[in-house]
């Protein structure tokens, strides 16, 4: 029997340990969970709302700061529903797909230590399979059990996407043929739970968030999924399960939040524009930039701090035949390894990241060569903030010779060379090329000339070839006077990072790019 979620095998949570969790109730009875996104918006599941009538919605209340359903908790606040947004592609005939909804509250939530929003994942956030995540709620503690009064939680491991896809196929085959046509092969779900069963979400947990730590030892939690549904509660479901097929369960099925980030952003922004009220998603004006040059800043005023839990996006468009140049006036964003907390990401026309910035050092200027579009995405977590940034943008026409202190986006098969080539490059130079080939192609770098200061392990002047913008995938480190053999990328991206120290300089290098 399929059950809309669906905490089995869990433990009682501690008071305030899930400050983003809400209880959605109908005439005082809990029926679904949800997560605080901003002080006006709640993220939940579409199937929690079988009726969109004003009669039904007028009886729905949203309780934040809830812990014990039997009493009024210290931090409890009660809200009614101002509006409800359900994904346009959600279909009751295929309830596992696009099972996402946004609830707008009638007034602002008062935030505190035990009431605060959950972080949304960044589009490029990666988390390995089997990572332990947490689901909390007031769902049944066993398949035919009762709704508990006190909040419970259960730790679940993410299921490998290949296994999750296999489960999707098995589930699809169990649907009546007339419903199978609604099951899109590109499902918007992810799976979590042990193959042997014993731990799961259950009826009453629907709509609540599947949250995971942002990294090992991190105190920041990110919502990756929305509790959607499953077959049974806590049943074994793996291929080795000895259950009869009719009694087999499934892992917990969750709506993939990262996949539906654009929809979340779009809907909240549309509501903000229509109602002339701030959604809290971004505290400054963002969106498309119409001028060919100008200034983007966050916060809006100098000598103040940007807000926490922000997601701001600016899109810049230049005239045909122009490139876009970004230059920073100042920069102060919470620093962390790999910029995993607060960050500013710069991308080109195809949303391919060119640079990710955090910390207090003013970034290098960014040249999006022969690209008429740029996207700036700023995100902040729930604590610590800096004085933000101010970046000037402008369109430039014609060639822009390589210059120290620049990050250059390259998407064409061109020649690259060090500044001043064939004359000597300067001391204390740093220049970075981010090269993207078309999808399905690799980048091949072939040197025509090469002359950098030689040193042991290339500690002085060097050209480092990387396979990603974060610098985790090193392909080669080159120096000296011999022409290196051609270098091939791992995928469709290659990053070249040239640096020189304060002493000896040489002629530099000249190289050609081909996409194969």
The residue annotated as part of the active site, out of 99, 286, 342, 461, is 99
* CA separation for the pair 423, 58 (Å, rounded): 75
- Rounded to 5 degrees, what angle do the CA atoms 266, 380, 23 make? 65
- C-beta of residue 438 within 8 angstroms of C-beta of residue 510: no
The residue annotated as part of the active site, out of 23, 30, 39, 47, is 47
- C-beta of residue 416 within 8 angstroms of C-beta of residue 431: no
Q: What are φ and ψ of residue 46, in 5° steps? A: -65, -35
Q: What are φ and ψ of residue 262, in 5° steps? A: -55, -40
* Helix, strand, coil share of the chain (percent; to 5): 10, 40, 50
Residue 160 annotated in active site: no
CA distances from 487 to 33, 120, 461 (A): 52, 37, 19
* CA separation for the pair 17, 14 (Å, rounded): 6
Handedness of CA 179, 250, 4, 142 (dihedral sign): positive
The residue annotated as part of the active site, out of 39, 87, 205, 206, is 206
CA distances from 132 to 20, 21, 139, 239 (A): 18, 18, 20, 22
In terms of DSSP bridges, do strands 406-410 and 365-368 run parallel, antiparallel, or are they unpaired? parallel
Which of 411, 431, 408 lies closest to 419, judged by CA?
431
Residue 461 annotated in active site: no
Q: How many secondary structure helices (H) and strands (E) does the chain include?
A: 4, 32
* CA separation for the pair 112, 327 (Å, rounded): 37
Segment (H or E) for 62: strand 60-64
Handedness of CA 233, 239, 242, 243 (dihedral sign): positive
* CA separation for the pair 223, 481 (Å, rounded): 51
Tell which phi-psi region holds residue 179, choosing left (phi > 0), alpha (psi between -120 and 50) or beta.
alpha
Reading the block at residue 413, the tokens are: 């098969």
* CA separation for the pair 309, 119 (Å, rounded): 7
* CA separation for the pair 289, 183 (Å, rounded): 39
Q: Kindly tell me the burial class for residue 321, based on how many C-beta atoms sit within 10 Å of its own C-beta (0-12, 13-18, 19 or more).
A: exposed
Residue 99 annotated in active site: yes
* CA separation for the pair 380, 294 (Å, rounded): 23
Catalogue the active-site residues.
47, 99, 206
């Amino acid at each position: 029997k399929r059950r809309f979620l669906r905490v089995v095998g869990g433990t009682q949570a501690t008071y305030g340990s899930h400050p983003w969790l809400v209880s959605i109730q109908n005439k005082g009875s809990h029926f679904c969970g949800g997560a605080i996104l901003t002080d006006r918006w709640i993220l939940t599941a579409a199937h929690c709302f079988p009726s969109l009538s004003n009669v039904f919605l007028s009886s729905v209340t949203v309780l934040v700061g809830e812990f014990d359903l039997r009493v009024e908790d210290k931090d409890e606040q009660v809200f009614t529903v101002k509006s409800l947004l359900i994904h346009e592609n959600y279909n009751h005939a295929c309830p596992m797909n696009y099972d996402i909804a946004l609830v707008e509250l009638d007034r602002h939530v008062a935030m505190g230590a035990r009431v605060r929003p959950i972080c949304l994942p960044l589009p490029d956030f990666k988390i390995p399979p089997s990572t332990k995540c947490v689901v909390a709620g007031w769902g049944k503690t066993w398949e035919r059990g009762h709704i508990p009064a006190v909040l419970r939680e259960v730790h679940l491991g993410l299921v490998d996407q290949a296994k999750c896809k296999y489960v999707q196929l098995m589930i699809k085959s169990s649907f009546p043929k007339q419903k199978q046509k609604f099951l899109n092969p590109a499902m918007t779900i992810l799976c979590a739970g042990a193959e042997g069963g014993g731990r799961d979400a259950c009826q009453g947990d629907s709509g609540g968030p599947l949250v995971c730590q942002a990294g090992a030892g991190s105190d920041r939690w990110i919502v990756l999924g929305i509790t959607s549904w499953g077959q049974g509660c806590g049943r074994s479901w793996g291929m080795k399960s000895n259950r009869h097929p009719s009694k087999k369960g499934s892992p917990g099925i969750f709506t993939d939040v990262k996949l539906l980030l654009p929809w979340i952003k779009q809907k909240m922004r549309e509501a903000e524009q229509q109602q002339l009220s701030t959604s809290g998603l971004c505290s400054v004006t963002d969106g498309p930039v119409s001028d060919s040059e100008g200034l983007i800043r966050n916060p809006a005023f100098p000598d103040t701090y940007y807000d926490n839990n922000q997601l701001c996006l600016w899109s810049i468009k230049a005239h045909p035949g122009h490139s876009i140049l970004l230059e920073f006036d100042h920069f102060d964003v919470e620093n962390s390894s790999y910029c995993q907390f607060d960050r500013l990401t710069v991308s080109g026309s195809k949303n391919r990241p060119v640079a990710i910035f955090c910390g207090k050092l003013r970034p290098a200027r960014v040249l999006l060569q022969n690209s008429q579009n740029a996207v700036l995405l700023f995100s902040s977590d729930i604590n610590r903030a800096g004085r933000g940034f101010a970046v000037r943008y402008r369109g430039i026409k014609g060639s822009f010779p390589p210059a120290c202190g620049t990050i250059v986006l390259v998407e064409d098969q061109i020649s690259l060379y060090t500044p001043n080539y064939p004359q000597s490059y300067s001391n204390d130079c740093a220049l970075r090329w981010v090269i993207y080939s078309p999808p399905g192609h690799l980048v091949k770098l072939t040197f025509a000339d090469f002359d950098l200061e030689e040193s042991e392990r290339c500690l002085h002047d060097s050209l480092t070839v990387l396979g990603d913008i974060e610098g985790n995938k090193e392909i080669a480190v080159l120096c000296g006077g011999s022409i290196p053999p051609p270098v091939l990328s791992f995928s469709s991206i290659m990053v070249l990072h040239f640096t020189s120290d304060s002493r000896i300089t040489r002629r530099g290098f000249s190289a050609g790019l081909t996409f194969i």
